[in-house]
Amino acid sequence: MSKVKIITDSNSGLSQAEGEKLGVYIIPMPFTINGEEYLEEINMTQEKFYELLAQNAEVKTSQPSQIYLEELWDKLLKEYDELVYIPMSSGLSASCENAKEYAKKYSGKVYVVDNLRISITQKESVYEAVEMLKRGKTAQEIKDYLEYSKNKQSIYITMGVLKYLKRGGRISPTAALIGDILGVKPILYSRGEKFEKFAIALSMGQAKKKMIQKIKLELETEFKDDYNNGKMVVYIAHTQNMNEALKFKEQIQKEFPNLTFRSIDALSLSVSCHIGPGALAIAVCANNFIN
């Protein structure tokens, strides 16, 4: 049987310590602050990041370079026969498509998974891959399953402030100013290809209610069988908004007793730079390999 190594990136929210415990290699996502490059968790903490963000630092996301990936793959393939790489969604970053191109020179030894996952849904894909590996599945089987089940997930996220959406050009400066004054909370939705506006709320409480209503509808329709069979998991994530996240957890567990609650996560820095502090998110995913 081939010896297989799972690889992902820090966009998944998995820390270096968690990766070591799982036996997964975590690539720290690069980004620049005021023109200087940093690697998530390696030389930039959550606390320092938000401190710089509050000072209106210029933050830009990046991706692992071809040289970095090939050097990593060459190193790991000295110990492993095959690699399964689970990067962030190809719909939201070029890193997945680029990795697939780089992998062509490795003669089928590097399997790049394109399953449209990001952040906490990407994290669940890693958990599935690890469990499948324990059960003797091959690298090809892991890749095929993760891509086949890519749409069995949803993410909803509401913003705490709007100026970071303005910086990214997603809303106008005037709309951001008026929205912040009125306390408007846009709710965005994604299945991994892109984030789209789902609804508008006038408070965090109303935003949570709207997200719960939408998740309930999905669990009663397209995810019904997985939910009834105990195969659906739920995550809550936030950006410097732990108190709301804890209250949201209580609501979710009361509303959906059949959901397996995974964790409350601080969103990765590569996500947080686009949305700023005060955001709150929920994600549901199907997992047919829950251990």
Per-residue b or e along 36-72, where b marks 16 or more CB atoms closer than 10 Å to that residue's CB:
eebbbbeebebeebbebbeeeeebebebbeeeebbeb
Residue 208 tokens read as 């949570």
Please tell me the pTM assigned to this model.
0.90
Considering the segment(s) 153-286 as one domain, its CATH architecture is 2-Layer Sandwich (3.30)
- Which residues make Cβ contacts (< 8 Å) with residue 274, sequence separation at least 6? 61, 164, 165, 168
Residue 183: per-residue pLDDT: 60
- For the chain, how big is the Rg over CA atoms in Å? 19
Query: Tens of pLDDT along 166-196?
Result: 454 444 443 334 444 446 788 888 887 777 7
Delimit the domains of the chain by residue range. 4-29+64-148, 153-286
Distance between CA atoms of residues 45 and 56, nearest Å: 17
Query: Tens of pLDDT along 127-167?
Result: 999 999 999 999 999 999 999 999 999 999 998 766 655 45
- Among the residues of 162-223, which ranges form H helices? 163-167, 173-182, 204-220
- The amino acid at 139: A
Query: Tens of pLDDT along 253-269?
Result: 999 988 999 999 999 88
Residue 6 tokens read as 């799972």
Written out in words, the top-level CATH class of the domain with range 4-29+64-148 is alpha beta
Give yes or no for residue 205 having a pLDDT over 80: yes
Where does residue 190 fall: left (phi above 0), alpha (psi -120 to 50 degrees), or beta otherwise? beta
3-state DSSP percent of the chain in helix, strand and coil, to 5: 45, 25, 30
Least confident of 9-13, 181-185, 187-191, 238-242: 181-185
* Opening angle at CA 155, ends 56 and 113, nearest 5: 95
Query: Tens of pLDDT along 28-67?
Result: 998 888 989 999 889 988 888 889 888 888 888 888 899 9
% of the chain surpassing 90 pLDDT: 59
Query: Given this chain, do its domains 4-29+64-148 and 153-286 carry the same CATH topology?
Result: no
Q: Hey, how many other C-beta atoms are within 10 angstroms of the C-beta on 31? A: 20
